[in-house]
């Protein structure tokens, strides 16, 4: 999804999708980029770095109905994209309780998804996801106030371990589900270790527990990814918040939900050179068939068997994402969405970790979690993603893409069939997801529009076998916004704010 789409082509493409009205106002955002203001922090709250603290404060303190005008004025005064992104993320880290990991805390977890989609957007639209995220944060902040007004407090400095002890202390505290010990250990870990070393134990903790339908893995991956955009210097409060969320138990006894203990044993059975193997669509189909009927433990055992037969990990990842997308086709909703977004996060952790066992666990957990989603989802439609049939659109190029997204509103299965045919006949996957991104920006109304859109695009591009890309893109039509959906009231309000301040 190139960010260098020529203006004429962009407007033509937008018109094909029914997005022509009001786009001119966003052109006013060109050229605005760091004004800061002094602010005080109460003793009950963690103090952030001085260069970002003022930005966080105006985000925290500006009323929701004024926040767009304030943001545009700050951008006009020189506030950078990175500072706005970082301020938004850290405002959520400091103000919104990550327990349970989900619900109102999506205001934090969705920031990287919004950023990912923004980076590939035409220049005039690149700030739209951050406007949406601003309003989303203000809503979550208000909800948090109603529920007790949680805030991330300062570190208990006398208890912070020395750098050489911090990692071991952190692992011990996480294994024992000890919140206070983990908090001070995180501070010592961040202060005495590099970024990669600090994250390694978090990768392991992020993959161990499916509690909160996979949000712990999502929070872990999104924290690291957002820090890559805003700077590792902000890591300490972020990782303290992450550790606090990862140790959430709800009403359960300490211990992970899902096949973690089994997969620790399974990881020891995998051959040493497991990362070297052959890509095999037949093995992908075999694992997909297993995921449709097996238990979590049986599915993980099948993955170990396939790896032992010399199958490349990528072919197993293809099966995981195909299965999660099939769940979207059968019964779109929160659980099916998280089957994809959690798989995407585990896949990211698989690529980011430098520990062989953690990488094995990320894959085995991704396989083992899919039956857990399947078992909770009622699937009235017996659709199978590898047997999707195509229906050729009447138009070509951008007109065909517009036809696909017009079909979404009345018949998602037809939109999927048209997507399949369009892509299998040489159509552009990029054009499909360029259009999907615009649908999300202008018509999306919730965090999951952004989270799912970013995740399925990334997984579609990452498919080991390109033959699966049309199927993954087609399945996405069961969840993406369509061209006939009304523009988001929030985006209309943001557009008016831009016009008022910039006009």
pLDDT mean over 421-448:
95
Which of 52-66, 69-83, 256-270, 336-350 shows the lowest mean pLDDT across its residues?
69-83
SS3 311: strand
User: pLDDT at residue 6 above 60?
Assistant: no
CA distances from 256 to 156, 298, 357, 451 (A): 27, 18, 17, 24
Report DSSP letters for 422-465, one per residue: HHHTT--HHHHHHHHHHHHHHH--SHHHHHHHHHHHHHHHH-SS
What's the Rg (C-alpha) of the chain? 23
- On whether the CB atoms of residues 137 and 59 are closer than 8 A, the answer is yes
CA distances from 89 to 136, 403, 429 (A): 11, 37, 30
User: pLDDT at residue 2 above 50?
Assistant: no
Residues 169-192 pLDDT 10s? 999 999 999 999 999 999 999 999
pLDDT mean over 460-487:
96
Confidence of residue 12 (pLDDT cuts 50, 70, 90): low
pLDDT mean over 476-497:
91
Residues 260-273 pLDDT 10s? 999 999 999 999 99
Which of 98-107, 379-388, 394-403 shows the lowest mean pLDDT across its residues?
379-388
Number of Cβ atoms within 10 Å of the Cβ of 335: 19
pLDDT mean over 349-369:
98
Distance CA(337)–CA(332), nearest Å, equals 7
Which of 5-14, 282-291, 316-325 shows the lowest mean pLDDT across its residues?
5-14
With the CA atoms of 236, 237, 241 and 246 taken in that order, what torsion angle do they form, in degrees rounded to the nearest 10? -10
Predicted TM-score (pTM) above 0.85: yes
Confidence of residue 123 (pLDDT cuts 50, 70, 90): confident
Bridge partners of 35? none
């Amino acid at each position: 999804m190139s960010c260098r789409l020529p203006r004429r082509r962009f407007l033509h493409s937008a018109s094909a999708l029914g997005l022509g009205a009001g786009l001119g106002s966003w052109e006013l955002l060109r050229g605005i980029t760091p004004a800061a203001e002094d602010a005080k922090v109460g003793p009950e709250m963690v103090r952030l770095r001085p260069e970002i603290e003022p930005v966080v404060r105006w985000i925290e303190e500006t009323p929701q109905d004024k926040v767009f005008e304030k943001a545009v004025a700050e951008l006009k005064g020189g506030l950078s994209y990175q500072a706005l992104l970082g301020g938004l993320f850290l405002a959520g880290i400091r103000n919104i309780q990550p327990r349970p990991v989900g619900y109102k805390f999506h205001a934090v977890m969705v920031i990287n998804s919004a950023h990912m989609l923004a980076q590939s957007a035409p220049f005039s639209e690149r700030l739209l996801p951050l406007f949406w995220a601003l309003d989303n944060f203000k809503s979550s902040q208000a909800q948090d106030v109603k529920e007790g007004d949680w805030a991330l407090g300062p570190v208990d400095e006398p208890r912070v371990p020395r750098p050489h002890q911090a990692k071991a202390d952190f692992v011990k505290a996480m294994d024992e589900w000890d919140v206070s010990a983990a908090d001070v250990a995180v501070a010592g870990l961040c202060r005495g270790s590099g970024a990669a070393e600090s994250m390694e134990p978090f990768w392991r903790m992020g993959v161990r527990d499916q509690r909160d339908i996979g949000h712990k893995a999502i929070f872990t991956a999104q924290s690291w990814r957002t820090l890559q955009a805003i700077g590792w210097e902000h890591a300490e409060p972020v990782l303290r918040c992450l550790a606090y969320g990862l140790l959430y138990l709800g009403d359960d006894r300490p211990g992970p939900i899902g096949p973690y203990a089994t997969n620790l044993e399974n990881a020891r059975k995998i051959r040493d050179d497991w990362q070297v193997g052959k890509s095999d669509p037949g093995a992908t189909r075999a694992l997909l068939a297993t995921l449709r009927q097996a238990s979590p433990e049986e599915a993980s055992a099948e993955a170990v068997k396939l790896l032992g037969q010399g199958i490349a990990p990528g072919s197993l990842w293809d099966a995981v994402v195909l299965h999660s997308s099939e769940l979207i086709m059968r019964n779109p909703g929160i659980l099916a969405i998280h089957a994809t977004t959690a798989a995407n996060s585990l896949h990211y952790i698989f690529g980011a970790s430098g520990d062989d066992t953690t990488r094995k666990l990320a894959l085995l957990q991704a396989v083992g979690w899919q039956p857990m989603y399947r078992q909770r989802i009622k699937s009235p439609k017996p659709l199978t993603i590898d047997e999707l049939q195509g229906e050729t659109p009447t138009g070509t190029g951008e007109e065909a893409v517009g036809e696909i997204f017009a079909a979404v509103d009345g018949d998602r299965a037809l939109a999927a069939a048209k997507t399949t045919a369009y892509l299998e006949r040489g159509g552009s996957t990029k054009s499909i997801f360029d259009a999907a991104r615009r649908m999300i920006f202008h018509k999306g109304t919730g965090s999951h529009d952004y989270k799912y859109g970013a995740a399925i695009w990334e997984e579609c591009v990452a498919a080991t076998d390109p033959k699966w890309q049309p199927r993954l893109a087609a399945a996405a039509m069961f969840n993406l916004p369509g061209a006939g959906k009304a523009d988001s009231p929030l985006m209309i309000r943001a557009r008016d704010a831009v016009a008022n301040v910039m006009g």
